[in-house]
């Protein structure tokens, strides 16, 4: 159990989640003392049979390189949780630990889906229409057109399965909407996406278009995706702070705010990045969800929901069968 | 006079600006009929002596390539305005026309400052502390470490001059704060910035850090800068829409909003991207400001303010003397 807070945030979030999802049970991996204490503090008797603790004293350090992690940290809580998914003992792995370690161990333990060279970090974000998926958010800082095209396919198939959208609109993040805009990577990727029969490619989207709901899936390299996501979170947090400020200025403004019937508070909570915590490592052959390291109970609860949703849909199997079908089809051509 | 609306937005914005800045006069370039009509409609007698119209029928088309523009559109309103700056007849050129055309003509007519290979698009944006500068916002989609380092220097010198900050904190936009984060471009640029004595380089900043005011100058390539800017605008616009919605729901919420004393409206207006219209083409040897093509009167007025501020400071001369001093110093070493 990693992240900034470990079991004392994760266990209470898990307990809440198990109450919410009666059919779900959990394997938890972590340090014996901390984990046992958290379980004793937060889990009631009725829930304990649904929580199976596994203890380990192998800890991934902040400065462990991916190669160190692969070589000597497979018995860390992260490694054991991924192995449980690989063995079929668990339907999903959720971690608040280091992204690069999770990526490295995920690649070795779970491997990638057929035809996928690297997984992408994929999350949903709110739009004025509902929600959209964006990938990659930082796992692959430099991408080839073929990789971006794989991400597009992963995102599109995921949206079909989880959101029930038959033909998700896939767009490529760019600096303009016109076909002449963008660098060589973008233009070559656009050509690949146009030629891909499994994707409903709809052209470019600009940064502001992300939130207008003109795409169900936004595809980008990990550098620009990370920048877009964090810049958006930054604005949301700034505005949320302004609203908070406004609400406590004086009794008159507080009264005014009360007359808005909690709508300002609702606005603040809709802007709260914790709402959107939990990103898939999409393309691994097993559901793997990354929570923010600094997630609080509520935010970690969202990451659990994200993982449970994908596990219930057997997402990796669904993706795998389509991707394998595509490979078989291309081989018999 | 370009942009989506031409003289009927630009002329009234100019008239307002001339009233606000008594020492300023304007050369205006554009189509005779449209310009004369707008001047007749919006400018009063007292102001007319401060507006010098120049007519041209050469128009830059949406699909004109930069090479076409350079070859045959130097007599467009954009080309003539840039020439007026080059000749010393004007202190600044403001255009709502195509960025790529403005960049191409600016390079040919004004040239770059000493030691600067390409100009960058630079704008200010609000932070919780005040304002910061960010560049490049889309003129250079792929940059070398040397170019990013030039942008850092241009941004830092501009902040010193315009905002009176002695040692502006310069940061590089990246996907993490730790030195190990980022791609080769980022790491090589960080090395250059650390070695540059004219810059107070403070390390990496993430997308959300932009709005926390931890940097006075944020440096990035044009692709990620454009994505960050537009994603931020998108969130701001979405939130602004939510607030608007909230204000008109019912008489009770309207009354509540009224009791907030216009603070919600103030919040909305602080979120309005028009507030931040007007970006420098920094690195050209002459003040050149790009307005959004779709800018309305208020937004175009902001772009005029941006240009007037830089012209009053003789920004290109200030930058030029420092940059030339740096070249001379390196040559005598």
| pLDDT tens string A266-287 | 666 666 666 778 999 999 999 9
In sequence order, the β-bridge partners of residue A120 are: A282
Give me the pLDDT at residue B273, please. Answer: 63
Contact A259 B264 (CB under 8 A): no
| pLDDT tens digits, one per residue of B214-223 | 999 999 999 9
Topology adopted by domain B1-115+283-310 = Isopropylmalate Dehydrogenase (3.40.718)
Q: Chain B residues with CB inside 8 Å of A212's CB? A: 234, 238
- Mean pLDDT to the nearest integer, B97-117: 95
Q: Do A246 and B260 touch (CB under 8 A)?
A: yes
B231 shares contact with chain A (CB less than 8 Å): yes
Q: Is the CB of B263 inside 8 Å of chain A's CB atoms?
A: yes
Mean pLDDT estimate for chain B? 90
* pLDDT for position A238: 80
- Structure-token match 């902001």, residue found: B302
Q: What is the pLDDT of residue B102?
A: 95
Question: What pLDDT does A115 receive?
Answer: 95
pLDDT for position A30:
92
Q: Is B138 on the interface with A (CB under 8 A)?
A: yes
Contact of B236 with chain A, judged by CB distance below 8 Å, is answered with yes
Choose between A42 and A259: higher pLDDT. Answer: A42
Verify whether the Cβ–Cβ distance A267 to B242 is below 8 Å.
yes
For A1-116+284-333, CATH number out of 3.40.1010.20, 3.40.440.10, 3.90.1560.10, 3.40.718.10 equals 3.40.718.10
- Residue B208 to residue A258, Cβ atoms within 8 A: no
A146 touches chain B (CB under 8 A): no
Does B268 score more than 90 pLDDT?
no
Instruction: Find the mean pLDDT for residues A155-184.
Output: 95
Q: Please give, rounded to a whole number of angstroms, the shortest distance from the CA of A326 to a CA of chain B.
A: 32
Q: What is the mean pLDDT of residues A170-193?
A: 94
pLDDT above 70 for B25: yes
The segment(s) of chain B belonging to CATH 3.40.718.10 are 1-115+283-310, 117-278
Q: Is the pLDDT of residue B150 over 90?
A: yes
The end-to-end CA distance of chain B, in Å, is 47
Within 8 A of A271 by CB-CB distance, chain B residues are: 239
Q: Which of B142, B183, B234 is closest, CB to CB, to A207?
A: B234
Q: What is the pTM of this model?
A: 0.89
Asked if A264 lies within 8 A of B242 by C-beta distance, the reply is no
Instruction: Name every chain B residue with its beta carbon within 8 A of the beta carbon of A238.
Output: 126-128, 211-212
CATH 3.40.50.620 fits B117-278, yes or no: no
Nearest-angstrom CA–CA distance, A294 and B299: 39
- Which residues in chain B have their CB less than 8 angstroms from residue A237's CB? 208, 211
Secondary structure of chain A as H, E, C letters: CCCCCCHHHHHHHHHHHHHHCCCCCEEEEECHHHHHHHHHHHCCCCCHHHEEEEECCCCCCCCCCHHHHHHHCCCCHHHHHHHHHHCCCCCEEEECCCHHHHHHHHHHHCCECCCCCCCEEEEEEECCCCEEEEECCCCCCCCCHHHHHHHHHHHHHHHHHHHCCCCCEEEEECCCCCCCCCCHHHHHHHHHHHCCCCCEEEEEECHHHHHHCCCCEEECCHHHHHHHHHHHHHHHHHHHHHHHHHHCCCHHHHHHHHHCCCHHHHHHHHHCHHHHCCEEEECECCEEEECCCCCCHHHHHHHHHHHHHHHHCCHHHHHHHHHHHHHHHHHHC
Q: What is the pLDDT of residues B163-215, one digit of tens each?
A: 999 999 999 999 999 888 999 999 999 999 999 999 999 999 999 888 888 99
For residue A127, the distance in angstroms to the closest alpha carbon of chain B comes to 8
Is the pLDDT confidence value at A252 over 70? Answer: no
Q: Search chain A and give the residue with CA nearest B209.
A: A234
pLDDT at residue A319, as a whole number: 97
Within 193-212 of A, beta carbons closer than 8 Å to B belong to 206-212
């Amino acid at each position: 159990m990693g992240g900034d807070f470990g079991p004392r945030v994760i266990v209470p979030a898990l307990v809440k989640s198990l109450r919410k999802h009666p059919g779900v049970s959990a394997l938890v991996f972590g340090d014996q003392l901390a984990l046992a204490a958290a379980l004793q503090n937060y889990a009631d008797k009725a829930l304990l049979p649904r929580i199976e603790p596994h203890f380990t004293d192998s800890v991934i350090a902040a400065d462990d390189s991916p190669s160190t992690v692969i070589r000597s940290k497979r018995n860390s809580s992260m490694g054991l949780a991924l192995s449980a998914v690989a063995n079929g003992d668990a339907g999903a792995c959720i971690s608040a630990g280091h992204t690069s370690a999770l990526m490295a161990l995920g690649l070795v333990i779970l491997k990638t889906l057929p035809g996928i060279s690297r997984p992408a970090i994929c999350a949903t974000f709110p739009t004025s229409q509902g929600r959209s998926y964006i990938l990659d958010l930082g796992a692959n800082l430099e991408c080839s057109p073929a990789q971006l095209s794989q991400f597009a396919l992963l995102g599109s198939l995921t949206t079909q399965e989880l959101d029930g959208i038959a033909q998700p609109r896939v767009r490529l993040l760019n600096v303009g909407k016109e076909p002449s805009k963008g660098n060589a990577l973008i233009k070559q990727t656009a050509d690949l996406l146009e030629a891909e029969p499994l994707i409903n490619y709809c052209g470019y989207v600009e940064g502001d278009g992300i939130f207008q709901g003109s795409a169900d899936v936004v595809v980008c390299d990990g550098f620009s995706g990370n920048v877009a996501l964090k810049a958006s979170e930054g604005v949301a947090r700034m505005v949320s702070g302004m609203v908070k400020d406004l609400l406590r200025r004086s009794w008159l403004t507080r009264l005014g705010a009360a007359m808005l019937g909690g709508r300002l508070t609702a606005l603040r909570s809709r802007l709260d990045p914790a709402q959107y915590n939990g990103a898939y490592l999409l393309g691994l052959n097993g559901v793997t969800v990354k929570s923010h390291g600094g997630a609080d109970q509520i935010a970690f609860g969202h990451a659990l929901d994200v993982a449970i949703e994908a596990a219930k849909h057997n997402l990796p199997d669904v993706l795998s069968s389509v991707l394998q079908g595509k490979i078989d089809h291309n081989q018999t051509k």
